[in-house]
């Protein structure tokens, strides 16, 4: 695949059946780091794809966790009711 790309871009010239030489365009591509840049761009694109999948899943997980914690945590009213019951029991105990 890479060899075909190099030959199509005239960066390698075919001399014999299994022999290639690098052309001026190939030297220029090597010096400028053309294929290193393409490789890095491909890696960054892959990371972006992975992040676009993982981030929504994590945000959904955090939202579900926050909702479940909120539903399971006692409210201020529950604390007030419990506090009144404790005060009532303390008064009865002191009698």
pLDDT digits (tens, 9 = 90+) for 36-92: 888 899 999 999 999 999 999 999 999 999 988 877 777 777 788 888 999 988 888
Q: What is the pTM of this model?
A: 0.54
Does 48 share its domain with 94?
A: yes
Does 53 share its domain with 87?
A: yes
For residue 85, the enclosing domain spans: 44-95
8-state DSSP, 17:
S
- Per-residue model confidence (pLDDT) at position 1: 57
User: Could you give the number of structural domains in the chain?
Assistant: 2
Residue 24 has pLDDT above 70, yes or no: yes
Does 49 share its domain with 92?
A: yes
Distances (CA, A) of 27 to 19, 22, 23, 80: 17, 7, 6, 79
- Per-residue model confidence (pLDDT) at position 92: 85
């Amino acid at each position: 695949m890479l060899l075909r790309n190099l030959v199509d871009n005239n960066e390698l010239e075919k001399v014999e059946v299994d022999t290639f030489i690098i052309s001026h365009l190939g030297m220029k591509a090597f010096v400028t780091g053309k294929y290193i840049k393409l490789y890095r761009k491909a890696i960054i694109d892959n990371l972006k794809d992975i992040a676009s999948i993982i981030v929504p899943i994590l945000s959904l997980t955090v939202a579900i966790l926050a909702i479940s914690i909120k539903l399971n945590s006692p409210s201020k009213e529950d604390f007030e009711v419990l506090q009144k019951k404790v005060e009532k029991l303390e008064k009865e105990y002191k009698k």
